[in-house]
Structure 1
Amino acid sequence: MSQSFSLRTKSFLAGLVLPLLLGACESSVSVRGNFPDPEEVSSLEKGVHTRRDVADRLGSPSTLSTFQDQVWYYIGEKVEKTAFYDPVVLDRTVLIVKFSSDGMLEESHAYALEDGRVIDPVTRETPTEGQDLTIIQQLLGNLGKFNPGGNK
């Protein structure tokens, strides 16, 4: 009877633990930013629609150009994350909307994930003068350098 109890206990525990372990490996998809409706984007006409029309149809932009509000950027990204693995970008869209100085739609361009380029950052380091000290050398090196009485 103790063997069947042990087998039942093991089966019960496996029934509880297995779904938890499998649930931890479930992937989650998160959507960030603004994905304007492609039909709304294609309905915009150059020289006809204003900033207000674009904002009404597409919503507020993710960001504006740095010095003037002549260029609006709608940026959206869909990312899948599974357990401890690196996130995988499923979709990325950047819509650039440019306006003329009088506020009329001048042009728009849509870029997808395939249009992006991988940038290889420079890994070189700038050489610096001086010595590389450990934390102990830094702490002990300052002992006796300061006058506790101040300048007299």
Structure 2
Amino acid sequence: MAAAAPLALAACSPPVELRGNLPDPEAVAQVVPGKTTKVEVTHLLGSPSNISTFDTGTWYYIARRSVRDALSEPQLTGQTIYVVQFDDTGVVKSFQQQDNNDTDVAMIPRTTPASGKELSLIEQLLGNFGKFSSSDDKKKTGG
């Protein structure tokens, strides 16, 4: 009975979810700035979680750990980000590790203006009259 009690309690613990790419610490230790190439980084760490949009020479490896209770939203327990920057020749320029970076990024609610005129529903409906013809009209005109 005493041996079964810890097992029963362990079964009740909430599951830990790991999302993203968490490379092996031994592989991370082998990445040396000024020496390791993109091919070697891919071999050691795998594919990056994200590549910078404006600078394709910056790779991100992101892993998040969270715990989920039965009926609640997942709670973030830890986050690790590896930022690998390459120079123009494809060699690691810098390698940074950021742990538990839980900075909340605020979204800006404004919208991007579109060029052109905004048409109302009535203008859109009336603007379509005469643009479409039936199949009988096409036969008469040879189209």
Quick one: which of 93, 107, 118 aligns to 2:80? Answer: 93
In structure 1, the gaps of 5 or more residues are 1-22, 126-149
AA aligned to 1:77 is R
Matches within 5 A, 1:132-143: none
Matches within 5 A, 1:117-128: 117-119=103-105
CA distance in 1, matches of 2:88, 2:46: 21
AA aligned to 2:103 is R
Tell me, yes or no, if the aligned pair for 1:34 and 1:75 is still in contact at 8 Å. Answer: yes
Tell me, yes or no, if the aligned pair for 1:35 and 1:74 is still in contact at 8 Å. Answer: yes
- Whichever of the two has the greater Rg, that structure is 1
Per the TM alignment, residue 39 of structure 1 is displaced from its structure 2 partner at its CA by 2.4
Aligned length: 105
Per the TM alignment, residue 55 of structure 1 is displaced from its structure 2 partner at its CA by 0.4
1:106 match: 93
Q: Do structure 1's residue 52 and structure 2's residue 52 form an aligned pair?
A: no
Q: Do structure 1's residue 41 and structure 2's residue 65 form an aligned pair?
A: no
CA distance in 2, matches of 1:52, 1:121: 35
Tell me, yes or no, if the aligned pair for 1:98 and 1:108 is still in contact at 8 Å. Answer: yes
Quick one: which of 48, 51, 59 aligns to 1:64? Answer: 51
In structure 2, the gaps of 5 or more residues are 1-10, 111-128, 130-143
CA distance in 2, matches of 1:71, 1:61: 10
Whose helix proportion is higher, 1 or 2? 1
Per the TM alignment, residue 80 of structure 1 is displaced from its structure 2 partner at its CA by 0.8
